[in-house]
Chains A and B, each alone.
Chain A
Amino acid sequence: MARYLARRLLQIIPVFFGATFLIYAAVYSIPGDPIRALAGDRPLPASTIEALRDEFNLDDPLPVQYAKYIAGLFRGDFGQSFRGREVSEILRQRFPVTIRLGLLAFAIEVVIGLLAGLLAGLRRGSFLDNLVLVSTTFVISIPIFVLGFVAQLVLGVRFGLLPVAGLREGWVSYVLPAMVLGSVSLAYAARLTRTSLVENLRADYVRTATAKGMPRRRVVGRHALRNSLIPVVTFLGVDLGALMGGAIITEGIFNIPGIGREVFVAVRGQEGTIVVGIVTALVMIFIFSTLLVDILYAFLDPRIRYE
């Protein structure tokens, strides 16, 4: 296990460099001049442009720019935006918002998704099962912004149950966006749980357990359910990383100052340092959440051994 862990942690190094370089190169190759865009209609004096280009290493070739950025990163310097904001400061401000939103969405996904999948799987072919199947297909096939606006309109404006947008009302403000953000994952989680449970309930070892004289509750809980959760946990783990990555559209609709909206603005302004800083942090979150899933796997399934 220790060796496996060490190997997995070492794998982070190439992934880190690969991901940061790709993002950096992508931002570098966006057409247009970020400095000129900074000033809007009024042209900047040539000397100012010169000074700014020099400060942000914009005249260097791509590999050199990237190397200078990475060197800064290792000194703990995430760099500055063109407007003079510290990227580390932006991360500090924006990330907690996104993490709160992501965790709440994740909680909704796990609780409702698993429960729906479980009930549907246990009563295959019932009204409830069909309801779950139809409603999840419905949610999956609707674009998220439609879902977002409808939720705002119905729950927020018409019935006034929840705050429509923004974060002024504390944690309640997160509920509606988290529901919308988690809805699609919830639908997938419910379907996955259902399918997996149905499959396992038919398995021979479940029949063995019944033949042993185990009560139904125990057959389901101990034998079928635990085995059917393996694929679900994989999905949830990867999805946790995705939810933490911020949701550009959801944060946009609900006017939430999280990482997603920040990235969107930064890409438009060609703020390479911000984009790369945020994306690097996201890549790290993703790597660690998948690592966590793989470790969890070994506990869920004794057939998997990391040696």
Chain B
Amino acid sequence: MATDLNGRPRTDGEPLLRVEGLVKHFPLTQGIVFRKQIGAVQAVDGISFELRRGETLGLVGESGCGKSTVAKTLLRLEEPTAGHAYFQGKDIFALGKRELRALRRDIQIVFQDPYASLNPRMTVGDIITEPWEIHSDVVPKDQRDARVSDLLRRVGLNPDDRNRYPHQFSGGQRQRIGIARALTLNPDVIICDEPVSALDVSVQAQVMNLLEEIQDEFGIAFVFIAHDLSVVRHISDRVAVMYLGRIVEIGDEKDIYERPTHPYTQALLSAVPIPDPDIEAGRDRIVLEGDVPSPANPPSGCRFRTRCWKAEDICAEEDPALIDRFGHGHPSACHFAEIREVVTS
């Protein structure tokens, strides 16, 4: 059984994190002296999901669909507009200052841009040890040096690198520093906000493998955010597909990739290139028309209907619920959901 850094067993069962109806609206204001709200960008509009111990939930969607906003609100880096997120039974959104600090020990984040997310004026050692200055009981003082070396070695860096500065490393190495940093507090959950999209393809694979190894070793649950479907498939146990602030389909990795039921998921999958030119030439591709509507003024009913080839009157009138439509344990938010096999690599 997987154990954490302190040797505690990590057990399956009760979900570690349960998000219910998460909403984040950014107000649009007008006027300089008398500011008034004229609308809201509905970045995230009612999202629910569960994360079990040690599993990886992939969160995919186009740019601007609200993926990163979900990540930031879960860490309270942004305040949510509504909803609940229970971590081990406690509502994250209702925590006070002190409890919030404790929470940040349990939930950590790896950011997208490894160039911007490390303070350029601090050495790698300082970046990694800083959390212990606040959470001083995590690692005893006399073991900290050894722990830094362990962490650096664990993420594939040299323990001597601790005295160097972030700018002296490549993008992949910097992301490794970011991962080591996220591990310092021995968290239960790491939210990976597009951790590899800023990296070269070859380096992406290395960092992905590192993340997987770390998960196996420490039993940490990941919320893995990405826009690259093959990256998400590689690492995820379950996948949620987002469109315009909503989850349109959620299920096991096999369900989503082999038996997608939502037209949007099908369209996304059909756009993934296949390295074999014979298969690539022979498959049919779903090409979506138009652009993603503005999240400040989303369509009525189903948000995807403006670009959907199946849309009918009911789609404009009634918002399709995210429910299990086939009894597969694989909910889909479409009135006309049907399984369609899309050839993927």
Contacts and interface: CB of A to CB of B under 8 A. Distances in A.
Interface of A: 203-205, 207-215, 218, 223, 226-227, 300-303
Given A207-B77, A207-B111, A213-B185, A227 B120 contact: yes
Interface string B117-149: 111110100000011001100000000000000
A204 B134 contact: no
B134 A215 contact: yes
Contact of B130 (A204, A207, A214): A214
Contacts of B135: 213
A208 B119 contact: yes
Interface string B99-120: 0011011001101010011111
A211 B73 CA distance: 11
B245 to A, nearest CB: 21
A203 B104 contact: no
A211 B77 contact: yes
Interface string B302-338: 0000000000000000000000000000000000000
Interface of B: 72, 75, 77, 101-102, 104-105, 108-109, 111, 113, 116-121, 123, 130-131, 134-135, 165, 167, 178, 181, 185
Given A302-B165, A303-B165, A208 B118 contact: yes
Contacts of B181: 208, 212
18 contacts: A205-B118, A207-B72, A207-B77, A208-B178, A208-B181, A209-B130, A210-B77, A211-B75, A211-B109, A212-B131, A213-B102, A213-B104, A213-B134, A213-B135, A214-B130, A215-B134, A302-B120, A302-B167
Contacts of A210: 77
Given A213-B185, A215-B134, A302-B165, A204 B117 contact: yes
B104 A211 contact: yes
Contacts of B118: 205, 208
A223 B119 contact: yes
A204 B121 contact: no
Contact of A203 (B72, B105, B116, B131): B116
Contact of A303 (B109, B120, B134, B178): B120
Contacts of A212: 104, 130-131, 134, 181, 185
Contacts of A209: 119, 130
A300 B119 CA distance: 12
Nearest to B134: A213
Given A205-B116, A207-B77, A303-B165, A227 B121 contact: yes
Given A208-B111, A208-B181, A302-B165, A213 B131 contact: yes
Contacts of A227: 119-121
Given A223-B119, A302-B121, A204 B104 contact: no
Contacts of B134: 212-215, 218
Contacts of B185: 212-213
Nearest to B113: A204
A303 B116 CA distance: 14
B318 to A, nearest CB: 39
Nearest to A200: B119
Contacts of B167: 302-303
A215 B77 CA distance: 13
Contacts of B123: 302
A303 B164 CA distance: 10
B327 to A, nearest CB: 40
A208 B185 CA distance: 13
Q: Enumerate the 3 nearest inter-chain pairs by beta-carbon distance, A residue then B residue, closest first.
A: A213-B104, A204-B117, A204-B116
Contact of B105 (A205, A213, A226, A300): A213
A180 B273 CA distance: 67
A210 B131 CA distance: 10
Contacts of B109: 208, 211
Contacts of B105: 213
A223 to B, nearest CB: 5
A219 B77 CA distance: 13
Contacts of A215: 101, 134
B121 A300 contact: yes
Nearest to B29: A125
B96 to A, nearest CB: 13
B208 to A, nearest CB: 21
Contacts of A223: 119
Given A213-B131, A227-B121, A302-B123, 10 more contacts: A205-B118, A207-B72, A207-B77, A208-B117, A208-B181, A212-B104, A212-B131, A213-B101, A301-B121, A302-B165
B14 to A, nearest CB: 25
Contact of A211 (B102, B108, B116, B121): B108
A226 B118 CA distance: 14
Contacts of A301: 120-121
Contacts of B117: 204-205, 207-208
B289 to A, nearest CB: 35
A213 B102 CA distance: 8
Contacts of A303: 120, 165, 167
> Most A CB atoms within 10 A — which of B102, B105, B116?
B116
Contacts of B116: 203-205
B120 A204 contact: no
Contact of A226 (B77, B104, B121, B130): B121
A183 B167 CA distance: 38
Contacts of A302: 120-121, 123, 165, 167
